[in-house]
């Protein structure tokens, strides 16, 4: 969903369920993407990345899917835990390994006990 | 240090005053970045330092904003004549040049202009 004003889109998930967080990126020339997790009062933390020559990459409990046709990125979290509660950002860059990233507005994930 | 350190963690200032925000990057990281995060918004690029190269200042919103990096390590972001719209969290990050796996962020400085 789109953020409006001060309100981040929020995804509420039951503990143990899988979470899917979506991101629409802006530039079809972007070739490198990162997902970040930001807990309250902390800076964003790297979760997983993917290059444009891939459409799927898996990490520990996380999977990133890339659909270049519709400029869409998703983050799947398996067996969501309370510690996964945070704001999740996607970031894109135009040249692999470049320093400048464009960040999305973020999605707040709430894990319900 | 073990991580990126920013100070102060919180700063409240009166409109019109100047503020300085400090960033200590991870030792050995040659690249340093400043981003701004307004409430409920994404991260906005401000400035980038890489080694001895000229910094990329293309994200600085006005000439009231400036930054420097001394000795290739510590960086200071200065905001002159602060305005209420400058209120935000200012995040610093560092990385190894060419690492290509993103940055390591500090915890940020929350600036409130009253």
pLDDT at B103 over 50: yes
Do residue B106 and residue A97 have CB atoms under 8 angstroms apart? no
Report CA dihedral (B7, B3, B38, A10) to the nearest 10 degrees: -140
Do residue A3 and residue B41 have CB atoms under 8 angstroms apart? yes
pLDDT tens track, chain A, 113 positions? 333 334 678 999 999 999 999 999 988 889 889 999 999 889 999 999 999 999 999 999 999 999 999 999 999 999 999 999 999 999 998 765 567 788 888 999 999 98
What value does the CA radius of gyration of chain A take, rounded to a whole number of Å?
Answer: 14
pLDDT-derived band at B46 (thresholds 50, 70, 90) equals very high
Residue A102's Cβ-count burial label (10 Å; 0-12, 13-18, 19+) is middle
Q: For residues A98 and B11, what is the distance between their CA atoms, to the nearest angstrom?
A: 31
**Phi, psi angles (nearest 5°) of residue A62:** -125, 145
Do residue A45 and residue B105 have CB atoms under 8 angstroms apart? yes
Task: State chain A's mean pLDDT as an integer.
Answer: 88
Judge whether B101 is closer than 8 Å to chain A, CB to CB. yes
* DSSP E strand stretches across A1-67: 10-14, 19-24, 32-38, 45-51, 56-58, 62-67
Q: How far is CA B92 from CA A19, A79, A84, B82, B104, in A?
A: 29, 32, 23, 19, 8
User: In A, what residues contact B, Cβ < 8 A?
Assistant: 3, 5-8, 32, 34, 36, 41-46, 49, 89, 91, 96-97, 99-106
Q: For residues B46 and B84, what is the distance between their CA atoms, to the nearest angstrom?
A: 18
Q: For residues A38 and B43, what is the distance between their CA atoms, to the nearest angstrom?
A: 11
Query: pLDDT tens digits, residue range B60-80?
Result: 999 999 999 988 799 999 999
Contacts of B2 in chain A (CB under 8 A): none
CA proximity to B19, closest of B66, B61, B79, B65: B79
Contacts of B45 in chain A (CB under 8 A): 100-102
Judge whether B2 is closer than 8 Å to chain A, CB to CB. no
pLDDT at B41 over 50: yes
Q: How many residues does chain B have?
A: 114
Do residue A97 and residue B98 have CB atoms under 8 angstroms apart? yes
Nearest CA in chain B to A2: B41
Q: For residues B113 and A6, what is the distance between their CA atoms, to the nearest angstrom?
A: 18
């Amino acid at each position: 969903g789109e953020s409006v004003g001060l309100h981040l889109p929020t995804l509420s998930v039951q503990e143990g369920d899988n979470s899917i967080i979506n991101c629409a990126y802006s530039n079809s020339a972007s070739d490198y993407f990162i997902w970040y997790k930001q807990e309250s009062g902390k800076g964003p933390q790297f979760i997983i990345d993917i290059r444009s020559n891939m459409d799927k990459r898996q990490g520990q409990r996380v999977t990133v899917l890339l659909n270049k046709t519709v400029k869409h990125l998703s983050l799947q979290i398996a067996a969501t835990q309370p510690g996964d509660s945070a704001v999740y950002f996607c970031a894109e860059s135009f040249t692999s390994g470049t320093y400048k990233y464009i960040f999305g507005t973020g999605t707040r994930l709430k894990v319900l006990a | 240090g073990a991580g990126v350190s920013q100070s102060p963690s919180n700063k409240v200032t009166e409109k019109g005053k100047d503020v300085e925000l400090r960033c200590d990057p991870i030792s050995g990281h040659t690249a340093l970045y400043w981003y701004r995060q307004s409430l409920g918004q994404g991260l906005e690029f401000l400035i980038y330092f890489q080694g001895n190269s000229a910094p990329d200042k293309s994200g600085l919103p006005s000439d009231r904003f400036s930054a420097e990096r001394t000795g290739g390590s510590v960086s200071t972001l200065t905001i002159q004549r602060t305005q209420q719209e400058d209120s935000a969290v200012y995040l610093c990050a560092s990385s190894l040049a060419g690492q290509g796996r993103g940055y390591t962020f500090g915890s940020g400085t929350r600036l409130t202009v009253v």
